[in-house]
Structure formats: structure tokens, C-alpha cells
Chain A
Amino acid sequence: MGGGGAFSVACTAQMQIFIQTLVTGIVTGCLYALIALGYSMVYGVLKLLNFAHGDLYMVGAFIGYFAIQWFGGATALIIPVPLLIIFMMVVAGLGVGALGVAIERFAYRPLRNAPRIAPLITALGISFILEDSVLLLFGGFTRNYNAPAFLPFRQSIHIDGVNIWSVQIIVVVVSVVMMFGLRELVNRTLFGKSMRAVASDREAAEMLGVNVDRTIAMTFFIGSAMAGVAGVMSGLAFGQISNIIGFLAGLKAFTAAVVGGIGSIPGAMIGGLVIGLCESFSSSYISSQYSDLIVFALLIATMLVRPQGVFGQPPLQKV
């Protein structure tokens, strides 16, 4: 595939590093954006910082891993690879979505009218339980997806020395499709309308006949399912999973949601890309040790300049 049209001019070495970093950043950013969307949606309807969301992503990655094992393991697959990938995503999406709904029903619904701090602490508790349950059930060691063994199209596309893996293309395409699907869902459907109504004023929405419980459950389902799919794709793209990947990924995604403006869907997408790019550029140009610190510093700076995020609306204070 060497020498695609747009890159027919020979790239310099710096240019190659730059483009490679850009590609990595976009892929990571898409994953963060998918997780951030769930954070943002849940915050929108419940005004709850769901700290357990990152762990749902981790659970999704594990479901994907076991799907591979189910079909004979990485080296001896018994079904075609595209089918496997679709199966992994569907199962992880449905499974993690159901888990999200269960968590909402069990832990958050009884606390709808409790003080603001109560659901926050509950979310920390859920995060503890998810992380340690996976540790208990599957052990603490790092597992390998072995994606190169079964992804024949993991062969990279070379464009003047820049490697773009097919799995990266899958990640970007699936993420973009899901984001636009979500946008259409929120803007065009009845569910989207009721979700926006609940987000803007839950009591008023209830009085106007919106089924608030069902809307919130549905929001949790969609948000969690996206995190689950993101987990599968991160397993394919980065290869390694363990029970602790959720916390840091959740934190980064959360940064993305906040930078973009928490509660705003396009904000979460752009925030995710910004965080992904920021991380990949700082690790390839400054130091990989400091990349997390730089991301956190970016967040703190954003919050101080514009507390509601880049795309967020400042909250109205009712007196």
C-alpha cells in the first residue's frame, strides 16, 4: 500500500514521528471519548460523578478476552475474525450495559433524594467492589489478548514510513460511528428527547409524563455499553488487560468529559481527542513519565480558566 496519494511527497523523519504520534493520539483519544460519553450522559441525567464507570470499561475488556478464549483462543479460532470482533463488541456491550443498569437499580436508585455526597461515596464503593471482584474471580496478573495472532489485517498500512495498523482503523471507525449514532439518538428519538428533559429538570419531566426511571436506566445502559465496547477495542489495540486498568482510564476519560464540558456530548468527543493527543504528544516529545502529570495539569488549568469546560454551560443558580 506504500505511497498513498496524499503522502506521495517523501516525509522527513521528524514528520514521520509527528504523524505516528498523531495517529496514536487519535486512537487513544477515541477510546477516551467513548468512555467520557458515558460519564457525561450519566452526569447529565443524575448529576452524579460515576467513579465506577472506568471499572465498567475494565469489565468490558475482560468480557472480550473471554470471548476470544471461548472461540478457541487466539491461535486456533473456530470462527472468522470479523465475526469474532463483532461478537466481542456485542457481548461486551450488552453485558456491561446490563451491569450498568444493575448497578443503577441496586446502588444509585435508592439514593435519588439523598444528600449529594451519598451517591458519590457509593460510586467509590462500587468501584472498589468491581475491581476487587475481578481480582478475586480472575486473579491479578496481566492477560494478553494476543491480537496479532488472529488479526490477519493487523498488518499495518505503510505510508512513507508511518505505520497505521488496521486495528487502529477499526477503533476510529467504530468510535466515530457510535458517537454519531449517539448524537442522532439523543437529538432525533423519543428516548433522546426524554433524556434531555430529565437532564434539564427531572421533576418537571416526571410531571409531563416522562418515565424517569426507565430513562435513567436506559442512559446507564447506553453509557455502560459504550464503555464495554471501548474496553474490547482497547484490548485489541493495546493487547494487555488487568483488573486495575479501569481506574486510570476512567480518570483520563473523566478529564476528557470535564475538559469538553461535562454533560455535553460533542464536548466529550472533542475532550477525548484532546486528552489522547495531549498524552501521546507529551509522551513522545517530552517524557513518557510525565505524560499523566501533563494531562492532569491540563485539566486543572482548564477548570481554573473555564470551570464549566470548553463546551459546557455554566450552571444556573436558582435562589
Chain B
Amino acid sequence: MAPIGVDEWVARSGDRREQNSGWRGLLARLDSRVGWWPRLVLVGLFALVYGKLLVGSNINYAQTGFNVVLYAILALGLNIVVGWAGLLDLGYIAFFGAGAYIYALFSSHAFGNLPLSTGGVQLPVVATIPIAVVGVGILGLVIGLVALRLSGDYLAIVTLFVGQAFAEAVNNVAPGTLGGANGLFGLKGFHVGSAMIGSTLGYYWFAVIVLLILMAFLHLLDTSRTGRAWRALRDDPLAAEVMTIPVNKVKVMAFTFGAIVAALAGTMFAAQQSSVFSTNFSAQTLILIYACLVLGGAGSIAGAVLGGVVVTVSQQLLSSPIDSAYLFYGILVIVLVARVRPWRHLAAVVAAIVGFGFGVHAIVGAISHRAIAGSPGSSGWFAGALRHFVIVPAGSPLTYGNLLYVAMICMIIGVVQLKGIRRLVAVVPTVYVAICCWEARLTLDPGITAQIMIGAILIVTMAARPEGLLGTRRVEVL
């Protein structure tokens, strides 16, 4: 029998998946055999192995590890509000920021010029975290109460402005205490007495422990009466109310729980960075957290964690030239393999791309030698392989790269509009232009490229799989 409130076709999606033959079916069957708790242990083991590998290695990897766990925690908190309760909260960043700022105030010189203390308030972590969590929880409660009057898009609007108002407020109100645009810095790390977490790796371990406890807690919450009430609210608020679910109470609860998780993440963020700035809590960070959640799949604990891993790791990869090349060509190959079927077409397209590239390169080289004299932006063995494939003029002028970029965007938009054999034909120059653009322009500005890629990932995910990697598709009753 189908679970209550779920469309039958949707409910039987699992059975259909199991009937799939091949490796997909195998994976699905394997997936259904492993229970939830063993999976949590797997996540823990994975984090343990990663952490052990980190000891003595590059500091950047520890930072990436911490960021992954931090964004996973943030995505989990957002999942409570957006994924389970279905309340579109665009002010989530304010809770994260408030947690960080409360921690910062109580572990820095911020209150230093007040008469009651010299050198600021420097409470131990056992006091600051509860203060931050309770304070932000109350904030979440208040905003939740305010949000009761609103629904759907109107809720999104008001919370968006709460988030923006937070950033404006910490930037402008009481610059003597909150530091204004300079932020608060020189924060003391997590410490109890003389024991103190001193390294990024230490924060990584702390965050992993928090993440595992949080996942276990959220799993219990998900399968509890409250979790069912949230999902009922998400699927149909009116029906939920008719079924005597105290809609207002569970809405406020969702907001409060989400805020508490965000505050927890905020304290860790502030302590690890040992400073807070209002720009840390901009709309860009919010979009990144949303990217984690929707990519992994809203409504799924594992999905939120996976999203955190994928988004943070790809951001990290994009900042190094050789890794970003792997990411770019990896995505290119995956898109081609997934979208161009059957394999005969795929083979033809790949052959055509290679032939087209070398052909164009030879023609352009015959006309003007300078036009192909530049070297590709990627480093490593890619560069050698692509030397006679891409067209990069001498000195790789920005104008050329910019024109290629515009051409690439236009061609991608065009390819999507075409159908059938025309699309297959159009894919060849599009991929070639994309590769040239990557080598001639995008590798030169990795920071900007990373942002563009995040935007592209959001759009592609929504177009290809709106329910995310691990989410379940729901039938919307409108």
C-alpha cells in the first residue's frame, strides 16, 4: 500500500527502479539492502579516513574538509525548513550570520571598551555555543511567528529581506561594537579552560562529530510525529490542518530548528576563521547553501550532505588550474555521454569534434601563424594534448576570449532549441568553441569562472533533475 499522502505512481518508483537491469538495478538493490544506521557509520568512517589522510598534508585540504562539513551542516538545517516543512526561507543566511556574530561578540575584544570588562568578554565555548544557539533560536521563533501570516512566495520575499536587512544592519549599526565593514577579528577559538582547538584539522574533527550527531538526530526527527507533520504541511497545508495537525506550531518549530542548526554552524565558522565580516553572510553564500540543498535533493538528509560535498569540493577544484581542467572536461564528457544516445551517435560526435578541431586548427594555422601561436591555459598533460587542437592566438588576447565566451553562450542556447539530427550536428562546433573558450579565457580568471560554474550547475540541475541527486519526485497538488 502506498504511504498516505504520496501519489501511487511515485510510491512505486522504488519497485520500478529495482526492475531496472544492469548496473543501475544492481545499485538500487544494493541501496535498498543497506539500512539507514549502517550508512551513517559509513559516512563517519569516510570522514575518519579523510581526516587521517589529512594529518601532515596540505593545509588547504583540511580547510576544504572543514568547509565541506560546514556546508553539509548548513544544508541540513535549510533542509528542515525548505525540504521538510516546505517553507521557502530566503533569510536563512541571517541565522548563520547571527550565530557567528554572537559567538564573535563573546570571544573577542568587541565588548572590550565597556566598563565591566577589560580585554573583552572571552567566555569558554561551553557558554558561548548555548548562548548563540538559544539567542538565534529565539530569533528563529520570532521570525517564524511573523511568517505565520505569509505563505509561498510572500514568505520567500519577506525572509529575503530579513536576510538582506541583517547584512545591512551588521554593516551599519553600532560600528563600535559590531565592527561595521571591518568586521570583528582576532576571535579566540573554541576553548575550555586552557584546552583549545588550535588547528583547522581540529575544527574538522569537531565539525564531523557535530555533523554525525546532527544526522542521527535529524533522522530520528524525520521519522517522528513532528517529521510526518512537517511533510504533511509541505504537501498540502490545508489538508494538514483539516487532519488536526497544529500547522502554526509546526511551522514555527521548523523555523526554530533550522535557525538553531544554522547558529551552530555559525559559531564553528566564526571560531575557525577567527573573524567575521558582514560580507561572509551575503546573498552569494545563501545561494551556495541553496545550491547544496537542491543539488543533493531537498527533503533528504543524505542528499543535503552529498550536495554539501559536491558543491564545496567543486568550488575548491575550480580554484586550481589543473583540477579545474579535470572538472571541466569531466563534466563535458558526462554531459555528452548522458545526452547523446545511442552510443553510435556518441562515437560519431566525438570523432567529429576531434576531426573538426584539428581541421579548423590546420586551416587557421595555414592562414595566419600568429593566430595559433598561443598556448592553452590549462597546465599538465592536457596542455600538450590540446596544443594542436584549440586555437589560441599569440599572447591569448582577452578580446578573443571574450568573443568566444559570447559565442559559446549563444551556441549553447541555440543547441538546446534544436532537435534530432540538427542538434547532433550543432553539438560539434559548440563543444569545440567551449573547449577553446575554456583554454583561452575561462582558465585565466578562476574566481569568476567558479561563480559562473555554480550558476550553470544550478540551472542544469533544475532542468535535468529538479528533485536533486537523491531527492524523490513529488506530485504537486495545485
Contact = CB atoms under 8 A, between A and B. Distances in A.
Interface of A: 43, 47, 49, 102, 105-107, 110-111, 114-122, 124-129, 131-133, 135-137, 247, 251, 254-255, 258, 262, 289-290, 292-293, 296-297, 299-300, 303-304, 307-308, 317-319
Given A49-B157, A303-B157, A317-B238, A137 B466 contact: no
Given A137-B406, A289-B172, A124 B287 contact: yes
A303 B88 contact: no
B161 interface: yes
Given A49-B157, A125-B456, A128-B458, A136 B448 contact: yes
Which of A102, A111, A136, A307 has its CB near the most chain B CB atoms (within 10 A)? A136
Interface stretch (B20-28, B145-153, B313-321): B145-153
A49 B168 contact: no
The main secondary structure of chain A at its interface with chain B is helix
B158 A120 contact: no
Given A128-B287, A133-B452, A303-B154, A122 B172 contact: no
Contacts of A258: 157
Nearest to B475: A115
B448 A117 contact: no
Contacts of B15: none
Given A49-B157, A111-B462, A136-B448, 4 more contacts: A120-B88, A129-B455, A131-B451, A299-B157
A18 B82 CA distance: 45
B165 interface: yes
Contact of A118 (B82, B405, B462): B462
Given A115-B474, A255-B161, A122 B448 contact: no
B458 A133 contact: no
B194 interface: no
6 contacts: A117-B88, A121-B294, A124-B455, A126-B459, A132-B448, A317-B238
B47 interface: no
Interface in B151-177: 152-154, 156-158, 160-162, 164-165, 168-169, 172
A255 B463 CA distance: 28
Interface in B421-461: 441-442, 445, 448-449, 451-452, 454-459, 461
Interface stretch (B103-111, B257-265, B409-417): B409-417
Contact of B462 (A49, A119, A317): A119
Nearest to A130: B455
A128 B413 contact: no
A135 B454 contact: no
Contacts of B291: 121
Contacts of A132: 448, 451-452, 455
A292 B162 CA distance: 12
A105 B461 CA distance: 17
Most buried by A among B149, B152, B294: B294
